[in-house]
């Protein structure tokens, strides 16, 4: 039975991704505050950004979650508490945290809070503990199986506990337990637990026999670099297991990634809502999710895995460095002007050129992501099949804005 409270929670590393997540159907968006979240490499937001973030989420009737989920040192407690107070003032729906100092600050400010996967909540006793402190949502450890999750949600229901369970459904997996890794700190002096991970686990390594001085290159299998989680094919099973929040990982990934992944999971959840009790549900759902998985393969991924939901992952290590996305984007120009009455964008070509049939992606902080096919367009006011650097191109498009960036999406060879 599908609960009405199921939430699709999408990542936002910057304003473009935030707008994209909302455009793509996210029920909630999570984003980081500078200095206190697990994605220090993202374009994180500062306190002065909070009112605009809240207003944009409210416009889409979406919840706003602020991630303050790193460990916090004594010298940072005052600023952290100020950040919590600012989140309360603008009306964010929750703070996501794992450090007990942040939990304490939220309790003092009467700020709703969720427990991050960084807390490695793996059992019902821990769920009761955090719920007793006032946590409204708990992101379970990623290492739990579906049966273990079901046991926890069953106990919550039986005991009438006022807390909801959230789990990751898509995105990067970490070789360390719930992402609590020390390798980046050891090798590069940049702490993963402070949001500064440089992912040394994702690289090739040479192993050396000290006695014979023989060397072997570990590259065919990246033995510390897991494939990405992809749960779209069994999303209905996760819903039936009593999970309320479905989180997409990816605050450091591109707006195209946020667009494609959020839209795909939105379609899958909505299909479950509308057809879960249909006689042919399983066949129809399989057809839908097979198609959606092909779309997911177009954007950044390291190959796909079911994670730990059905036991210890088998063949879970990626075999290539970096992304296995089937599409790559190439910058070609900027939007010069948009003509709303005609529904036409004027694009100045700065690089590469454009050919009829190309797939375009237009990005901007207020636009999000607009994807279209260049099946027909004008070059320098003449009907054309091609354009080159320096040309002015006009093309039909949904609303975009001046200075939005324009890319061609190409299939990787």
Is 192 or 234 the better-scoring residue by pLDDT? 234
| 86: its two tokens | 């600012």
The pLDDT tens digits of the residues spanning 277-320 come to 888 999 999 999 999 999 999 998 888 888 888 887 656 556 56
| 131: its two tokens | 């719920």
Residue 402's nearest CA partner among 361, 362, 358 is 362
pTM: 0.82
Cβ count within 10 A of residue 327: 18
Lowest mean pLDDT among 35-44, 243-252, 259-268: 35-44
C-alpha gyration radius of the chain: 23
pLDDT above 60: residue 41: no
The most confident of the ranges 30-34, 218-222, 337-341 is: 337-341
C-alpha to C-alpha distance for 56 and 34, rounded to whole angstroms: 19
Residue ranges of domains in the chain, CATH in brackets? 7-176+225-305 (3.20.20.70), 327-411 (2.40.30.10)
Q: Provide the pLDDT confidence category of residue 1 given band limits of 50, 70 and 90.
A: very low
C-alpha to C-alpha distance for 81 and 92, rounded to whole angstroms: 15
C-alpha to C-alpha distance for 358 and 323, rounded to whole angstroms: 22
* Residue recorded with tokens 């191109």: 393
| 18: its two tokens | 């935030």
The pLDDT tens digits of the residues spanning 125-151 come to 999 999 999 999 999 998 899 999 999
Q: Mind giving me the DSSP string for 314-373?
A: SS-B-SSSS---SEEEEEEEEEEEEETTTTEEEEEE-SS-EETT-EEEEEETTTEEEEEE
Estimate to the nearest angstrom the gap between the alpha carbon of 127 and the chain centroid: 24
The pLDDT tens digits of the residues spanning 156-214 come to 999 999 999 999 999 876 665 555 565 656 566 666 555 566 666 666 666 777 776 77
């Amino acid at each position: 039975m599908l609960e009405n409270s199921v939430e699709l929670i999408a990542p936002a590393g910057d304003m473009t991704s935030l707008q994209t997540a909302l455009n793509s159907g996210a029920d909630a968006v999570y984003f980081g505050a500078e200095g206190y979240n697990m994605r220090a490499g993202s374009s994180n937001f500062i306190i002065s950004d909070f009112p605009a973030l809240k207003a944009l989420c409210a416009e889409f009737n979406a919840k706003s979650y602020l991630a303050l989920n790193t460990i916090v040192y004594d010298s940072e407690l005052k600023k952290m508490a100020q950040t919590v107070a600012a989140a309360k003032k603008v009306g964010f729906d929750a703070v996501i945290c794992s450090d007990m100092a942040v939990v304490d600050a939220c309790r003092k400010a009467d700020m709703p809070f969720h427990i991050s996967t960084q807390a490695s909540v793996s059992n019902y006793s821990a769920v009761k503990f955090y719920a007793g402190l006032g946590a409204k949502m708990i992101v379970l450890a990623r290492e739990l199986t579906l049966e273990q999750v079901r046991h926890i949600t069953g106990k919550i229901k039986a005991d009438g506990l006022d807390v909801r369970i959230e789990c990751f459904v898509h995105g990067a997996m970490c070789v360390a337990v719930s992402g609590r890794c020390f390798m980046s700190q050891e090798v590069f002096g940049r702490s993963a637990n402070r949001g500064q991970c440089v992912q040394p686990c994702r690289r090739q390594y040479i192993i050396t026999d000290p006695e014979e001085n023989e060397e072997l290159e570990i590259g065919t299998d990246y033995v510390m670099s897991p494939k990405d989680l992809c749960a779209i094919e069994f999303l209905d099973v996760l819903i039936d297991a009593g999970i309320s929040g479905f989180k997409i990982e990816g605050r450091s990934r591109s707006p195209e990634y946020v667009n494609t992944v959020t839209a795909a999971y939105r379609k899958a959840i909505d299909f479950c809502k509308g057809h879960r009790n249909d006689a042919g549900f399983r066949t129809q759902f399989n057809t839908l999710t097979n198609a959606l998985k092909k779309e997911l393969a177009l954007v950044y991924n390291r190959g796909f895995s079911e994670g730990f939901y059905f036991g210890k992952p088998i063949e879970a290590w990626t075999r290539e460095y970096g992304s296995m996305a089937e599409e790559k984007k190439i910058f070609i120009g900027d939007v010069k002007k948009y003509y709303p009455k005609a529904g036409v964008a004027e694009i100045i070509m700065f690089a590469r050129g454009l050919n009829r049939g190309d797939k375009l992606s237009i990005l901007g902080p207020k636009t999000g992501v607009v994807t279209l096919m260049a099946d027909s367009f004008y070059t320098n006011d003449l009907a054309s099949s091609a354009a080159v650097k320096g040309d002015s191109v006009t093309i039909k498009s949904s609303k975009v804005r001046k200075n939005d960036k324009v890319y061609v999406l190409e299939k990787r060879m």
